[in-house]
A = this chain, B = another copy of it.
Amino acid sequence: MANCSAARVASYAAPYDAPERCPRVPIPTVRSGSVRPRLTFDHLGPRTVQVPYEAQGPADAPATVVLGGISAGRHLAPTTSDPSKGWWPGVVGEGDALDPARHLLIGIDFLGGRTENGLLRPVTTHDQARAVAAALDELGVTAASFVGSSYGGMVALAFAELFPERTARLVILCASHRTHPMATGIRSVQRAAASLGADTGQPARGLALARALAMTTYRSPEEFEERFSARPLHPGQPGRTPARFPVEEYLDARGADFAHRFDTERFLALSESIDLHGTSPESLPPETLLVSFDTDALVPPWLVDELATRSGRCPRHVTVTSLFGHDAFLKEVGQVTSLLNASLPRTPEVVR
């Protein structure tokens, strides 16, 4: 087996100069809508589903599918019709590494959960890949590069396995060909918490609890140690209120926010989909960049090394030093920008 050692990049000290932003004319073309393909699901058989998508950029620019975590979606960056920020600010947007002036950027909403035709679960990363293919068909895109992070990285790997001829370059961050049992165990507890809430008429409370737990796996102990005091806010009042801790306030707030945006069935379907994920390492395309972060406990560097080694193709694997654990793909904008700039095709910079 090939021995592929990962490059290590220290990011703490890496200076990042945000590029200067110039107001742009013209606004890149935006196409959005829903495609309604009939897909053959791995465990559900044939089903007609709705796949909302959004595409930004010139039709003749290199097509790049951008897929994120389970709470990410089709909206990648502000547009004239939807000025809200996308899920990956600093990385996708005007003047950024994934610039709608220089890429045809394509996002979709993942399948999973309640639909007009009943419950969509279990859903696999290969099912999501089929949905991406349907969106590409609709857009007239025959082949695309992929930038997939976390769950979206798993979907990109599944796409490359199912549709090698439609896959140009892959950049995979915080994802690998399989999960590891500790991560699966912690997610199974999250699903049990969401289910307990739903079963007892407290779905928001269960979902918030699941997300609070997930947050502890998205960040690193080192970051929390820097950020939160270990001292209680108060020790509680006998028989009235429990003790409260700074980190608990943070986790509760993140959980409550998620419970407003998500529903139980969708969370269960997507969380389970992560644990059902599996691709053959040998299906990895030659033009792949794998990015891991040293503090990522969910997708640790050793698991990405396993993919690189078993692929037999010695893809480039960069392990970046970060304080931010699994969320480093969202937080290490400078490092991610450098890696994407060096890896993806794009149209030359437009002079304005």
Contacts and interface: CB of A to CB of B under 8 A. Distances in A.
A238 B297 contact: no
Interface string A179-220: 111111110110111011101111001100100110110011
B185 A251 contact: yes
B196 A202 contact: yes
B275 A221 contact: no
Interface in A271-311: 272, 275-276, 278, 297, 300
A193 B196 contact: yes
A178 B225 CA distance: 12
Contacts of A246: 181
Interface stretch (A100-108, A116-124, A331-339): A116-124
Interface in A154-192: 178-186, 188-189, 191-192
Given A200-B201, A221-B300, A300-B221, A247 B182 contact: yes
A251 B181 CA distance: 11
A231 B180 CA distance: 9
A268 B242 contact: yes
A245 interface: yes
Contact of A224 (B182, B235, B250): B182
A253 interface: no
Contacts of A118: 239
Contacts of A248: 184-185, 188
Given A122-B243, A216-B186, A242-B272, A43 B235 contact: yes
Nearest to A222: B182
A289 to B, nearest CB: 24
Nearest to A205: B196
A162 to B, nearest CB: 17
A347 interface: no
A232 B276 CA distance: 7
Given A192-B212, A213-B189, A181 B228 contact: yes
Contacts of A197: 196
A11 interface: no
A217 B189 CA distance: 12
A120 B231 CA distance: 21
A236 interface: yes
A297 B124 CA distance: 32
Contacts of A228: 181, 184-185
A224 B300 CA distance: 14
Interface string A241-261: 011011110111000000000
A224 B225 CA distance: 25
Contacts of A178: 230
Given A188-B212, A188-B248, A242-B272, 10 more contacts: A118-B239, A121-B239, A122-B243, A180-B221, A181-B225, A184-B245, A185-B228, A188-B247, A195-B242, A221-B300
9 nearest CB pairs, A to B: A200-B200, A182-B221, A181-B228, A188-B248, A185-B247, A181-B224, A181-B247, A182-B224, A189-B213
